[in-house]
Amino acid sequence: MPPTLILIRHAQALHNATSDWSIHDPPLTDLGRHQSAELHESLQASSLAQKTDLIVVSPMRRTLETMTIGLDFLIKKGVPVLPDANWHENADKPCDTGNTMDIIGKEYPQYDFSGVDPLYPDKTSNLETNPYAFTRKAIVARGQACLSALYTRPEKVIAVVSHSGFLRTAVCNRNFFNADWRVFEFDEEEMAKRGGFVLRESEETEKKGGGMGRSDVGFFGIVEGDFPPEMEAKVGKVEAVGEASEEVPGKVSA
């Protein structure tokens, strides 16, 4: 039986607070660290989260820091942590581009980054074949690859710490406020109809607007501006929006 997924967005990072997309792989703000502590309390109070037996994380500073604070009660229990480049953010701006694992490994020596794809964080070379390219085709395919990898895992409950743009456009078509979380099952019926991996949100987090009730309620798919036009993508002209510039509940955010 495929696992239940707890999908989590990182807490507020420096680029979210300043709207400065030139900050390379930004860390959390003080508010972001506070949000991560609130995430910790929320997840610790969840009977489902207590059953988590694998943590998957995007190998970027803001997701790693959110996980280290917010899921610390699980890590201390020995739940393994799996950094996976497939879960990183969409755009190729500096704020959405990670560091190499030699740098991140020194900052987070407690985690094993040896399994991270060595091509990461390159998003600009070989746009036609690069799985991390900032194109609609590549990102939607990356979302399917993420779900395919988890579908056959032996664990029963998997927590994933990722990014709002990628989660919305490629994984579950939902908005996530900073440090909020949602619960999903694989929707076998829809998967049979569509021929791909599809998630169904739990009634509780869907109606509430996330586990902490801070996220938009409803379905939010791909919209104009999420990705560069294909012709522009081929010559590296990327102007589309990555993550939300306004961290306000109730607004549509990427």
Query: How far is it, in rounded angstroms, from Cα 157 to Cα 54?
Result: 7
Question: What amino acid occupies position 250?
Answer: G
Strands 157-162 and 54-57: parallel
Rounded to the nearest angstrom, the gap between the alpha carbon of residue 243 and the centroid of all alpha carbons in its chain is: 11
Strands 4-9 and 81-83: unpaired
Choosing from 15, 40, 88, 163, the catalytic residue is 163
Does the annotation count 88 as an active-site position?
A: no
Query: How far is it, in rounded angstroms, from Cα 38 to Cα 89?
Result: 23
Does the annotation count 10 as an active-site position?
A: yes
Choosing from 10, 15, 40, 88, the catalytic residue is 10
Query: How far is it, in rounded angstroms, from Cα 184 to Cα 200?
Result: 5
Catalytic residue ranges: 10, 163
